[in-house]
Every structure is written in structure tokens, then in C-alpha cells.
Amino acid sequence: MTMEPSGLGPMGDVQLLASRLRADRTDVASYARVLSGALADALPPGMVEVQTRRSLADRVAGRDGRAVGVTVHGENRELALREGPRGGVEAEVRQVVRGVVISRKAVGIEQWLQALAEDITRLAARDAAAREVLERLLHG
């Protein structure tokens, strides 16, 4: 997939998308906002799942709560981020066969972002809506 006007090609697109997703993201809520915003609208329904934790105050006020986890469901894998026990973000890549997780691997945020960028780029190669969002992410 060659993207205009950059002409970077698939690997360049993956690297650029990963760097765009990486910018200014230090907590799960930040990733949840990006992934459940315009990006989720362009991806197939149910591909992005945000897990929230609601305090008593959230319930009383009718708020959704705060994001504590994000899972991106791909074709043969799931990419999961969750709030770490002492803060920060923990990342995991899960291999999935026919809806069953067969392996889990803790990875760094960089590796997780690379895997996410690869999945989105692959999806964009065959889906017009995802391609449009990818263009916006890559080229402002």
C-alpha cells in the first residue's frame, strides 16, 4: 500500500503510524481516548474494547468511569493495554485461534504500538474507511 503524498510504502507507514500513536501517551486513558475516538469509528464494530472502572461517585453522577484497559481485537491476535498495579501502562500481545487465546506475551509499549500499527495498516489495505483514518493519522 503506497500512501500519497509521502510514498513511504507499507513499512514506512507502519513506522509513522506507531510514532503518531506514541506521541504524548503516558496512561491507559490517553490510549483509550485515541483508540475509541475517530480510529474506532473507522474500524470494524467491536474491534476496540475499553474497560472502565466506575467509582461510587461515577455511578451516582451517571459517568462512565475512567479507562483502565483497552483491547484491540485483530484477526489472529489481541493487543491489550491495562493500568499497572503501581501506575503506568502494561502491554500484552495475545495469540488467538478461533476466539480462544492460546498464548500471552508481555511486551513493551514500543512493541505493542508497532503491532497495532501493523494491524491497522493491514486493515487499511483492504478497507476504505480505515484507510481514510490512517491517512488522517499519518498526514495530519
Tell me the percentage of the chain whose pLDDT exceeds 90.
21
* Alpha carbons 78 and 89: distance in angstroms, whole number: 16
Span 92-120, mean pLDDT? 91
Q: CA nearest 34: which of 59, 42, 16?
A: 42
The 10s digit of each residue's pLDDT in 121-134 is 788 787 777 777 66
pLDDT given for residue 102 in this prediction: 97
> CB of 79 within 8 A of CB of 72?
yes
Span 102-121, mean pLDDT? 89
**Model confidence band, residue 20 (pLDDT cutoffs 50, 70, 90):** low
The 10s digit of each residue's pLDDT in 57-75 is 988 999 888 888 889 998 8
What single string gives the DSSP state of each residue in 9-27?
Answer: HHHHHHHHHHHHHHTT--S
